[in-house]
Structure 1
Amino acid sequence: MQKISSLVSQPLYSVAAIRQIEQQAAAALPAHTLMQRAGLLVARLALALAPHAELIWIACGPGNNGGDGFEAAWHLHQWGKNVVVTWTGLPCGKSELPPDAQASRQRALAAGVVMASEPPLGFDVCIDALLGIGATLDPDRPGSALMQNWLDRMHASPAMRLSVDIPTGLQADTGAIPFKNATKSIAFSAYPACARGLFTLSLLRLKPGLFTASGRDSAGEVWLDDLGVSEADITPTVQPCAWLLGTDRTHPPLRTQSAQASHKGSFGDVAVVGGESTAASHMSGAALLAASAALHAGAGRVFVALLGDAPGLSVDPEQPELMFRAPDALDMAHQVIVCGCGGGEAVKSVLGNVLSTARQAVLDADALNAIAMNPRLQAQLKARKSLGYSTVLTPHPLEAARLTGMTAAAIQADRLGAARQLAERFQCVVVLKGSGTVIACPDQLPMVNSSGNALLATAGTGDVLAGMVGAFLASGMDDFQAACSAVFVHGHRADSWACNMPHQALTASALAKWQSL
C-alpha cells in the first residue's frame, strides 16, 4: 500500500481497463480472493489513520463496493473495534448480492458485526463503501435517497472519512459529479481535505477522476494498493489512459548545471505580446506578469511588446531587466512568443503574424478568444505543426469551451476528453487549467498535474503560467515537456508557499518570483 504524492508519476486507468484487470486477476485466483484482500486493506488503513477510534461506521451499498465494506467490518470487529454497519439493501429487481459481496456479508453477520438501519451517533470514523467505479448515484433510482441521506451525514460530520476505491458520487473516469444534488454529495467538499480528514483507498489501479475536476476535493489523500495484481499478471493490451504528473517527469532549467562559458543568449529569448492599453482600459499588468514569470523561470532575455493606442511603458522600474519593443520590431522567428495575456481586441492585429512567423508560441487568454471567433486563424494554428512549429495553448475551461463550441460545464464534465479533443483538432499541446490541470498533445498520453492548490485561484496566475511555459521552451525543451514542467513547477510553487507562508495570500506577482523551497 502506498500513499500517492507528487514525487512520483503514476499511471491512471479508465474504468474499462480496471474491469479488464479485475476480470483477468479474478480468473487466476480462488473465488473471493480480491474482495478479501480489499477488505483487509481497508480495515488496516482505517486503523492506521485513526488508531484510537472508538466507533466506526461503515456504510455499505448494494454491490461489490459494499462487499469490500462488509469484509472490512469483519476484520475490524475481529480486532476488537466497535463497528456499526448500515446497508442499503438490494435494489429493485435483485434477489441477492453479487456472490463475493454476499459471502462477505454473511461472514460479517456470522461474526456478530452490528447491523443497523440508521448511522450511529458519535462515530469517529466513517467508511464510504456505497458505490464503486461502475455505478452512479442517480437521485431518481430507488435507494438513492437513503444513500444521499447517509452521505449528507458523513459530509456534516467532523469524523475522518475513508472512501473505498472512489468517493460515492464521483465519476472515476472524469472526476465529474453527474447528478442533481451534487452540492450535498460526499463527492463535493467546500473545505480543504487536510482539515476534514478525507482519504480514499484506490484498489487495483489509480483512476483519473481522483485527480481532476472535483476529484481532488472529494478524494482527499489518496492511497493505492494493487491487491497483489502486478503488471505481469495482466495482458499488455491493458494500458493506462493518462499519467499523474509528478516531480520525476519534470525538468526545470537549472542554470547552475550549464556551461561556465554561457551568456544571456544561451538561455533563449522570450517575447510577451499583449497588455492592451487604450483610453478606456489598461491591461499591461497581464503582460508584465507573464514577462516577470519568464524572467524568473530562467529565460536569458525577455522582451515585452505592449498593444493598444495609449502610450505604453518604456521601462518597468520594478524590473528593469525587461526590454520593451514595438510588436513589429520583434524577431518572432527566433524568439518564443507568449501571446494573448491582456491582449484585448488589439491582439487580433498581430495574431496572424504570430501564427505564421513564430516557430515557438504560447497562446493564452485573448489570443485564444480571437482564434475561437476566426476560422482563418484556426486554420493557421492547425497548420503550424506541418511547418515544424511548436505551439502550446493554455486555456481555462471557458476559453476551452469557446474553442470547441461547447459549454464550460461540458468541458468540466470530461476534462481529459476535452483536452485531447483540442490537442487533436489544432495539432498542438494543450494545457487545460484547473484543479488537476490536464496537459495533452496528439501523440502522447495526457498528463494530469499533481501539484497546486486553491492559492492559484487568483487573478494573474494564468499569465504567470504562460510566461513560465515560454521560458521552459526557450531553454530547449520540446513543447510537451516544457508544458508539463512549467505546469508542475507553477503548482509546486503554490504548494511551497502554503507550507512556508501559511495564512498569507499568494499574489500572481509573488508567484512569478517565488522559488519553491
Structure 2
Amino acid sequence: MHRLLPVQHRQALHSTASSRRIEVSSQAHLAPHALMARAGMALAKLASALAPHERRVWVACGPGNNGGDGLVAATLLHQAGWQVEAALVRSEGTPPADAAWALEQARAAGVAITQSLPAIQPDLLIDALLGLGSTRAPEGQMADWVRYLNNQPAPVLAVDLPTGLDSDTGRKLGDTVVYASHCLSLLTLKRGLFTAHGRDCCGDLWFDDLGCTPTEPPDAWLLGQDSMLVAQGPPLPSTHKGSKGDVLVIGGAPGMQGAARLAASSALAAGAGRVYASLLDPTTMPDPARAELMQRPIAQLKDDPSWHTHCVVAGCGGGSEIGAVLPLLLEHAVRLVLDADGLNALARNETLAEILRARRSRGLQTVLTPHPLEAARLLDSSVASIQANRLAAADALSQRYACSVLLKGAGSVIASPGSCPAINSSGGPALATAGTGDVLAGWLGGIWASHAGAPLHDLACAVAHWHGLAGDQQKAGPLRAGDLIEAMHALHGHASR
C-alpha cells in the first residue's frame, strides 16, 4: 500500500468492466473470500495508520462487496481493541457471497452491527457504502448516511471510491456524494478518481493492489513525472539555436495581445531555438520585455513559405480575426497547435473542420488544446456533457478531427488516434487564472519544436504534466500566467529517472 500523489511513474488505470474481470481472475487463483479478506486487512491497516491514537470508528456499510470490505475492517479493528460500530444499510436483496461471509465473521467476532447512525462520537469514519460500478445517486437511508459523513469533524476514509462518484468518469451521480479525507483504491486504480469531480471527492489517494497482477491492459494511463523525460535531457554539445526548432505564434487581435505574448514567451522558455510572433494587431510589438522574440508580419505569411516547417501555435487571443488566416495554416503548417479562438473558428466552420481532418492523411500533425466550453462547441454539445465523461469527450474530439487532443481541466485528458488515453495527475486550482492556457499552448509549441522526432501524444502528455507540476509548486494563492512561465522554466531537468 502506498500514497499515490504526487505520481513518480505512470500508473495503469482501469474501467469498471476491466476491474471486474481482473477481480474475477484474481479470485480464481485464491481461496474463497481471500480477496475480500485482503481488502479488509488493507483498509484496517490504513485506518490504524491514519488515526494511530484514536479508538472509535463508525463504518457505514452498503449491501454489496464494498460493504463487505468495510465489515472485514470493522472486525479487525474490533479485535485490535477499537470501539467499533458498523452500520449496515437495510436491503431486501440477497448479499453477494463474499459480503455475506464478511457479515457472518463480524457477528461472530462480536462487532456491534446496527442500521442507524452511531451512538458514539467517532474519531474516524469509514465510507463502505457503494463502490465499483455504482450508477445511481444514493437514496433514502444511504443518502442520510452520506450527509452525516460529510457533516462530521472526524476524517472520512472511503473504500475504493467515495459513495456517489462514478468510477469511470469521475462525475457525481447526484447531489449526494461523499467528500472523503482519504480514499483507498483496491486491486485497480479507477479512472474516475483522477478527473472531473474525482479529485474533489477523494482527498488523499492511497492504493493497494492486494498482491494481484492485472490480467487486463490499461484503459488509460495516469501520468507521472517520468512522462516528462521525453521532453527533457541534456542537449548535445553541438546543439545550436537552429537545431532546436522554430516556433511561430499567431494571435493577439486588438485588445488581446497579451495572450499571444504569453504563448510566445512560453515557447521561448520551453527551449525553442527561435520564436516569431505574427500579431493580428499589426500596431503592437510581440513583447517589449522580451527582446529575443521576433516579429513576422501576418501579411507576409502568404508569400513567404519558410514558416511552413515551424511549429505553429495559433489562436491565443485570436478573436474573430484568426478565422481569416486559419485556412492557410491548416493547409501548410507541418506542425500545428490550435488553441482558444482558433478552436472557436474551427467549431463555426465545417469547411475548416474538413481541412483539419485531411491533414493527418497528408502527414501533417495537429494538437487541439480546448477547455470544456471550447470542447463543447467543437462537438456540438454542452459543457455538462463534456464534464460528464471527459475521457469519452477527448476521444470523440480526437476521432472527429483526426488529431491529438489535450482536454484541459481537473484531470486533463490527452487522446490521440491509435494511442491509449492519459489522465494528468498534476495541477490544481492554482492554475485557474487567466492566461495559463496560453502558456500551455506556447510551451507545447516550444517543446514540439525542440523535440520534433518524439511522438506527439507523448509530448502532449509531458507538457500537460509539466504545466500542472509547476502549478503544484505554488504554495499559496493563484499563480499568475507570467510567473507560471518562470515556474515551468525552473523545472527543466526535473523528472523521475
The TM-score with structure 2 as length reference comes to: 0.94
| Corresponding residue number in structure 2 for 1:216 | 199
- Say yes or no: does 1:174 pair with 2:169: yes
| Corresponding residue number in structure 2 for 1:355 | 330
- Say yes or no: does 1:484 pair with 2:461: yes
C-alpha RMSD of matched pairs (Å): 1.6
How far did 1:121 drift?
A: 4.5
SS of corresponding position for 1:312:
coil
| Corresponding residue number in structure 2 for 1:17 | 18
| Corresponding residue number in structure 1 for 2:182 | 199
Please point out which of 103, 112, 115 is paired with 1:114.
112
- Say yes or no: does 1:148 pair with 2:143: yes
Please list, as runs of the form range in 1=range in 2, the aligned pairs for 1:315-326 lying within 5 A after superposition.
Answer: 316-326=287-297
| Corresponding residue number in structure 2 for 1:58 | 59
Measure the CA separation in 1 of the matches of 2:442 and 2:373. 20
| Corresponding residue number in structure 1 for 2:284 | 313
* Equivalent residue letter for 1:56: V
* Equivalent residue letter for 2:134: A
SS of corresponding position for 1:250:
helix
Measure the CA separation in 2 of the matches of 1:11 and 1:100. 26
Measure the CA separation in 2 of the matches of 1:479 and 1:203. 33
Measure the CA separation in 2 of the matches of 1:228 and 1:263. 50
* Equivalent residue letter for 2:156: R
Measure the CA separation in 2 of the matches of 1:298 and 1:40. 49
SS of corresponding position for 2:473:
helix
Residues 75/459 of structure 1: CA separation in 2 closer, same or farther (3 Å cut): same
| Corresponding residue number in structure 2 for 1:194 | none
How far did 1:134 drift?
A: 2.1
User: Retained in 1: the 8 A contact 2:430–2:477?
Assistant: no
**Structure 1 residues without counterparts, runs of 5 or longer:** 188-196
Measure the CA separation in 1 of the matches of 2:481 and 2:172. 30
| Corresponding residue number in structure 1 for 2:4 | 4
SS of corresponding position for 2:258:
helix
Residue range with higher mean Cα deviation, 47-56 or 408-417 = 47-56
* Equivalent residue letter for 2:300: A
| Corresponding residue number in structure 2 for 1:87 | 88
- Say yes or no: does 1:242 pair with 2:220: yes
| Corresponding residue number in structure 2 for 1:294 | 267
How far did 1:20 drift?
A: 0.8
How far did 1:332 drift?
A: 2.6
Measure the CA separation in 1 of the matches of 2:271 and 2:483. 16
How far did 1:109 drift?
A: 1.5
| Corresponding residue number in structure 1 for 2:208 | 225
User: Retained in 2: the 8 A contact 1:252–1:489?
Assistant: no
Deviation string 1:297-319 (CA, Å, 9 cap, x unpaired) is 111111111114xx532352211
User: Retained in 2: the 8 A contact 1:450–1:488?
Assistant: yes
How far did 1:185 drift?
A: 2.0
- How many residue pairs end up in the alignment? 482
User: Retained in 2: the 8 A contact 1:332–1:354?
Assistant: no
User: Retained in 2: the 8 A contact 1:65–1:131?
Assistant: yes
Deviation string 1:95-121 (CA, Å, 9 cap, x unpaired) is x32121111112112212122311344
How far did 1:54 drift?
A: 2.5
Measure the CA separation in 1 of the matches of 2:102 and 2:351. 62
| Corresponding residue number in structure 2 for 1:340 | 315
| Corresponding residue number in structure 2 for 1:329 | 300
| Corresponding residue number in structure 1 for 2:132 | 133
How far did 1:508 drift?
A: 0.7
SS of corresponding position for 1:272:
strand
| Corresponding residue number in structure 2 for 1:70 | 71
Measure the CA separation in 2 of the matches of 1:513 and 1:303. 19
User: Retained in 1: the 8 A contact 2:15–2:168?
Assistant: yes
Please point out which of 84, 97, 100 is paired with 1:99.
97
SS of corresponding position for 1:296:
helix
* Equivalent residue letter for 2:43: V
SS of corresponding position for 1:321:
coil
Measure the CA separation in 2 of the matches of 1:287 and 1:458. 16
How far did 1:249 drift?
A: 2.2
SS of corresponding position for 2:420:
strand
How far did 1:3 drift?
A: 2.0
| Corresponding residue number in structure 2 for 1:33 | 34
* Equivalent residue letter for 2:171: A
Deviation string 1:372-414 (CA, Å, 9 cap, x unpaired) is 1111100111111111111110001111111111111111111
How far did 1:260 drift?
A: 2.4
| Corresponding residue number in structure 1 for 2:383 | 408
User: Retained in 2: the 8 A contact 1:252–1:472?
Assistant: no
- Say yes or no: does 1:389 pair with 2:364: yes
SS of corresponding position for 1:174:
coil
User: Retained in 1: the 8 A contact 2:277–2:286?
Assistant: no
- Say yes or no: does 1:185 pair with 2:184: no
- Say yes or no: does 1:162 pair with 2:145: no
| Corresponding residue number in structure 2 for 1:191 | none
* Equivalent residue letter for 1:24: S
Residues 98/321 of structure 1: CA separation in 2 closer, same or farther (3 Å cut): same
| Corresponding residue number in structure 1 for 2:244 | 267
* Equivalent residue letter for 1:392: V
Please point out which of 374, 395, 415 is paired with 1:420.
395
Measure the CA separation in 1 of the matches of 2:459 and 2:200. 27
SS of corresponding position for 1:378:
helix
* Equivalent residue letter for 2:131: G
SS of corresponding position for 2:391:
helix
SS of corresponding position for 1:302:
strand
* Equivalent residue letter for 2:472: D
How far did 1:252 drift?
A: 6.0
The TM-score with structure 1 as length reference comes to: 0.90
User: Retained in 1: the 8 A contact 2:314–2:339?
Assistant: yes
User: Retained in 2: the 8 A contact 1:252–1:486?
Assistant: no
SS of corresponding position for 2:84:
strand
Measure the CA separation in 1 of the matches of 2:119 and 2:433. 41
Identity %: 47
Measure the CA separation in 1 of the matches of 2:231 and 2:101. 56
**Structure 2 residues without counterparts, runs of 5 or longer:** none
* Equivalent residue letter for 1:433: K
How far did 1:28 drift?
A: 2.4
| Corresponding residue number in structure 2 for 1:512 | 485
Measure the CA separation in 1 of the matches of 2:311 and 2:12. 31
User: Retained in 1: the 8 A contact 2:231–2:462?
Assistant: no
| Corresponding residue number in structure 2 for 1:192 | none
Deviation string 1:217-255 (CA, Å, 9 cap, x unpaired) is 111222211222224xx3xxx221100011112226447
